[in-house]
Amino acid sequence: MPVQRPDARPTREEAEDAVRTLLRWAGDDPHREGLLDTPSRVARAYQDWFRGYNEDPDAMLQRTFEEVEGYDEMVVLRDIRFESYCEHHMAPIIGKAHVGYIPTDRVVGISKLARLVDAYAKRLQVQEKMNAQIAQTLFTVLKPKGVAVVLEGEHHCMSTRGVHKPGVSMVTSTMLGSFRDDPSTRKEFLNIIGNPTNRLS
């Protein structure tokens, strides 16, 4: 029998056993009727919540379209709902992503922008890192003139535990290329998405 490396991915059975341990630690009985199938359900839920680990964000942007008749203005997809999980408490982060870029000679299908957001959201995250990952991938793969990404998220590790402050949104942004260098371009993007900072004042 081969020795399993400490960093090897656990089996489904091991994952379900871990859930049973947590149920016992919480003070309940994993063998009572209502909890018998909970370990299996949690394992399946984790497959969905963290499917981003099995997805390649770069590959999502490989298919592009060059027949854009010289279009070189801003492309913006706003209000992309995302669900992520904080890597400190594994509590949900629920929010919206706003993604914009200025193409050079090609554009990507808009659904791919939403898929890119999900590929990083469906991992254990901190919002600042997720923001930078989305922007940098778009900038590296598409090579546009500029990229802008703004995330607004409610962190349940703050709203349902700790300081218990529901309704508070964290806003982060990453501006690359022309969005960083040209204040008027940045302002146009923020106006299009509704400038989240204005809603916080």
Annotation: binding site for Zn(2+): 86, 89, 157
Instruction: Tell me if residue 127 is catalytic.
Output: yes
Catalytic residue among 13, 14, 31, 88, which?
88
Q: Where are the alpha helices (DSSP H) in the chain?
A: 12-26, 38-49, 57-60, 110-121, 127-142, 156-159, 178-181, 183-193, 196-199
Catalytic residue among 125, 152, 154, 155, which?
155
Catalytic residue among 86, 98, 125, 133, which?
86
Instruction: Tell me if residue 86 is catalytic.
Output: yes
CB 189 within 8 A of CB 76: yes
CB 119 within 8 A of CB 55: yes
Q: Roughly what angle, to the nearest 10 degrees, separates helices 110-121 and 127-142? A: 140
Catalytic residue among 125, 127, 152, 154, which?
127
Instruction: Tell me if residue 89 is catalytic.
Output: yes
CB 101 within 8 A of CB 150: no
Q: What is the dihedral of CA 156, 118, 53, 161, to 10 degrees?
A: 0
Instruction: Tell me if residue 31 is catalytic.
Output: no
Beta-carbon contacts of 71 under 8 Å, excluding residues fewer than 6 positions away, are: 103, 107
Map tokens 């204005």 to a residue. Answer: 198
Binding-site residue positions: 86, 89, 157
Catalytic residue among 55, 87, 136, 188, which?
87
Instruction: Tell me if residue 128 is catalytic.
Output: no
Catalytic residue among 55, 83, 157, 188, which?
157
Which positions are catalytic? 86-89, 127, 155, 157
